[in-house]
Chain A
């Protein structure tokens, strides 16, 4: 098997996932939150593909494709919402969007 071992891929994926997770938790700009979400999803994709390579099975790759499709749709909706908010001059700060509190 050429290239670095699976452990490296997993390490990078874990790093990306942590960065993404912290971004979602700490940042308040919805654009950055969406971006961080994408990072987390792609970290998960990376682990899927790494394990697929290790086991020599295509299942993980196919699953990663499915995740990409879902991520794409999610970005469409998310960015659409962000654009709509910007157009209505709503402040782009997730902590201020608390209309749905109980």
Chain B
């Protein structure tokens, strides 16, 4: 027959394992969400800034070509400016749409897990 001490020790060990697993699970969820968010936002950022600096370098490197008319007074240089403004707005729109539709529910889920985890910690 098990002594009271050994039962308590086993109970403590199981609790400690549970807390570790719970913490591990929360850390894993956090890392998974961070990876998910980073993959989207950094790709979008690199693309947007890449196009911005690409356009800028093209404008600075080939100033003569910028005077080529596209339509009336609108030349390649002014078109690059229009494209840049449109690109910035499109980037914002893409991010906001993605965040509202995809990211926010996942962030809310992580918050719920974190609350559950901290409540679990308090009970134990």
Verify that A and B bind, or say they do not: no
Question: Interface on B for A, CB 8 Å cutoff?
Answer: none
Instruction: Mark A residues whose CB is within 8 Å of B.
Output: none
